[in-house]
């Protein structure tokens, strides 16, 4: 397998992991609402919340949604299977659910038969009760592994038709037949190999956390610098959802991973202060404050007569980052024209995450301003330090502005609106002028919908060159057959924010409306069938 194939597969895996992750913001919102209803400080201000109905409803909201965190293993198994499957995704997900049950019952029965089940309190033993069965606690790892292996065999054999008496066992049933012995084998194998692996993972996580502010800073730098590759999910997902991010017992239930821990702590009225591990999830700092300073610097460094045009591009991108935490529009506005700014951006992200660690400033900062308010304000200042978090954020905004403006002017970087720099992000009026084009320019006149799906399809080499079209939070991710047929100039007529060409894997950045773009493209592909 060559380097390009490995990179393409890792990119696909990164995208597939987003399916289960995307449900967590909603889960977090509901938990935060339930926690607010039962928060003593809120109840003191609003005495009617002390009524049994509201107290009961708060508990229901918290524990009904915490069930998602408790069962993330099977959610990842199903989600990754669906995300990696090329065809019949629903059947891949259905098989994954069956296989995870087989895995759990295999391990539980084997451990029971061999007297390996620990009696009494399971905290810190490496075992846990999952879906009513006591097993070795592998977190989401086995769920991910089952999803990956199941998707591999699904893509290989789910379209294979058997003849004669065996016809009933073809297609997705054949995949299940192949996977059953593999799954049983994994159940037996992980009973013995996971406990030592668990210790290695735990020690590695401890070494990161033991490095203090330096470890936090390195994590912050890597999480940002990997964004252009689309592989940053492979870094923060293990930190947020596995033993790598630490484990903690909350209200009698064990939670592993930074995000699982802080969501559980939010819902637990007995937790006096949220865990300092939340520093690892302080991405709101750069989303709300840092990139605002960067965007303002680019705006003020633009040529005077182009500032209105730059404002139309940069300010909506800043708003997207501040409000909902979508950073790629603003990041990609300088990544392609001045890569050094992106490196500095990653360094500053790590530095300010380190500052939070040094001063032990804890706040839930995973998304944009809306998330930040919902998660932190109802909790008051006893559980979090959100006012100090904002102070550090304002300092970060000023530092970003000063550093970006200095670099842009001193190095004469061709950011938006400077000299003859090409505008990589276009306003709607710019787009219309471009698609009008001079005589002889290749222009897709038939836009086929709001997002010019015709240009996207033709730029990707046509329908026959497109294998699969998916999306993550901001990018259209397309697998193609022949990279030589891709024409980025035609794709740009669909007004993307950027294009990342990885050979057989093309990523087209559209921002938060990318799901609508994917729907339009897939609808047009079906029409062309």
- Any idea of the CA torsion for 264, 267, 271, 273, to the nearest 10 degrees? 80
Does 7 or 56 have the greater pLDDT score? 56
- The answer to whether the beta carbons of residues 485 and 461 sit under 8 Å apart is yes
What is the average per-residue pLDDT within 19-34?
Answer: 72
pLDDT band, residue 22 (cuts 50/70/90): low
**Selection from 154-158, 422-426, 445-449 with the highest mean pLDDT:** 154-158
How confident is the model at residue 321, as a pLDDT?
Answer: 81
Q: What are the extents of the domains in the chain?
A: 1-201, 453-528
pLDDT at 278 over 60: yes
Catalytic residues: 472
Task: Render pLDDT for 403-415 as a digit per residue (tens, 0 to 9).
Answer: 999 999 998 888 8
Strand ranges in 218-357 using DSSP code E only, listed in sequence order? 247-250, 253-256
pLDDT at 160 over 50: yes
Q: What's the fold here for domain 453-528? A: Gyrase A; domain 2 (3.30.1360)
Measured CA to CA, the distance from residue 399 to residue 345 in angstroms comes to: 11
How confident is the model at residue 336, as a pLDDT?
Answer: 67
Kindly report the average pLDDT of the chain as a whole number.
Answer: 80
- C-alpha distances (whole Å) from 16 to each of 80, 84, 85, 147, 325 are 5, 6, 9, 10, 20
pLDDT band, residue 385 (cuts 50/70/90): confident
- Any idea of the CA torsion for 71, 73, 79, 85, to the nearest 10 degrees? -150
Q: Read out DSSP for 110-136?
A: HHHHTT-PPPS--TTTTEEEETTEEEE
Q: Three-state SS for 361?
A: coil
pTM for the model: 0.61
Instruction: Please state which of the ranges 161-165, 338-342, 405-409, 496-500 shows the lowest mean pLDDT.
Output: 161-165
Task: Render pLDDT for 187-234 as a digit per residue (tens, 0 to 9).
Answer: 999 999 988 887 776 676 667 666 777 888 888 888 888 776 555 666
Closest CA to 76 of 97, 101, 56: 97
């Amino acid at each position: 397998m060559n380097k390009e194939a490995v990179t393409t597969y890792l990119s696909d895996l990164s995208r597939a992991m987003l399916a289960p992750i995307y449900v967590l913001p909603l889960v977090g919102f509901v938990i935060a609402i339930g926690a607010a209803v039962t928060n003593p400080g809120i109840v003191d201000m609003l005495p009617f919340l002390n009524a049994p109905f509201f107290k009961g409803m708060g508990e229901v909201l918290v524990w009904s949604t915490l069930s998602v965190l408790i069962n993330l293993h099977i959610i990842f198994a199903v989600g990754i299977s669906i995300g990696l499957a090329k065809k019949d995704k629903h059947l891949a997900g259905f098989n994954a659910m069956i296989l995870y049950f087989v895995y759990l019952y295999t391990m539980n029965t084997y451990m029971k038969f061999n007297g390996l089940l620990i009696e009494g309190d399971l905290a810190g033993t490496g075992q846990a009760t999952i879906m009513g069965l006591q097993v070795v606690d592998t977190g989401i790892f086995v769920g991910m592994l089952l999803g990956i292996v199941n998707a591999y065999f699904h893509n290989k054999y789910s379209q294979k038709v058997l003849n004669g008496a065996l016809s009933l066992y073809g297609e997705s049933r054949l995949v299940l037949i192949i996977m059953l012995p593999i799954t049983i084998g994994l159940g037996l194998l992980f009973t013995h190999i996971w406990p030592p692996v668990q210790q290695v993972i735990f020690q590695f996580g401890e070494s990161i956390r033991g490095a203090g502010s330096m470890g936090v800073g390195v994590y912050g730098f890597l999480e940002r610098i990997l964004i252009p590759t689309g592989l940053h999910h492979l870094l923060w997902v293990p930190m947020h959802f596995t033993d790598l991010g630490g484990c903690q017992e909350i209200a009698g239930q064990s939670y592993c991973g930074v995000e699982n821990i802080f969501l559980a702590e939010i819902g637990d009225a007995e937790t006096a202060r949220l865990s300092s591990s939340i520093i690892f999830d302080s991405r709101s700092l750069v989303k709300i404050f840092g990139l605002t300073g960067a965007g303002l610097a680019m705006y003020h460094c633009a040529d005077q007569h182009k500032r209105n045009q730059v404002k139309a591009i940069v300010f909506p991108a800043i708003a997207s980052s501040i409000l909902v935490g979508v950073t790629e529009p603003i990041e990609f506005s300088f990544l392609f024209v001045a890569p050094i700014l992106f490196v500095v951006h990653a360094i500053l992200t790590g530095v300010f995450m380190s500052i939070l660690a040094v001063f032990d400033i804890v706040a839930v900062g995973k998304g944009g301003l809306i998330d930040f308010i919902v998660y932190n304000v109802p909790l008051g200042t006893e559980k979090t330090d959100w006012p100090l978090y904002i102070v550090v954020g304002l300092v970060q905004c000023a530092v970003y502005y000063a550093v970006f403006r200095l670099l842009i002017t001193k190095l004469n970087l061709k950011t938006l609106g400077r000299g003859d720099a090409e505008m990589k992000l276009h306003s709607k009026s710019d787009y219309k002028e471009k698609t009008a084009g001079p005589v002889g320019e290749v222009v897709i006149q038939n836009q086929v919908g709001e997002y010019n799906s015709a240009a996207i399809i033709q730029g990707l080499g046509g329908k026959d060159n497109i294998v699969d079209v998916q999306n993550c939070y901001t990018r259209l991710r397309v697998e193609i057959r022949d990279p030589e047929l891709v024409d980025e100039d035609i794709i740009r007529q669909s007004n993307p924010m950027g294009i990342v060409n990885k050979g057989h894997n093309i990523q087209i950045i559209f921002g938060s409306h990318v799901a609508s773009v994917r729907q339009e493209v897939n609808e047009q592909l079906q029409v062309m069938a």
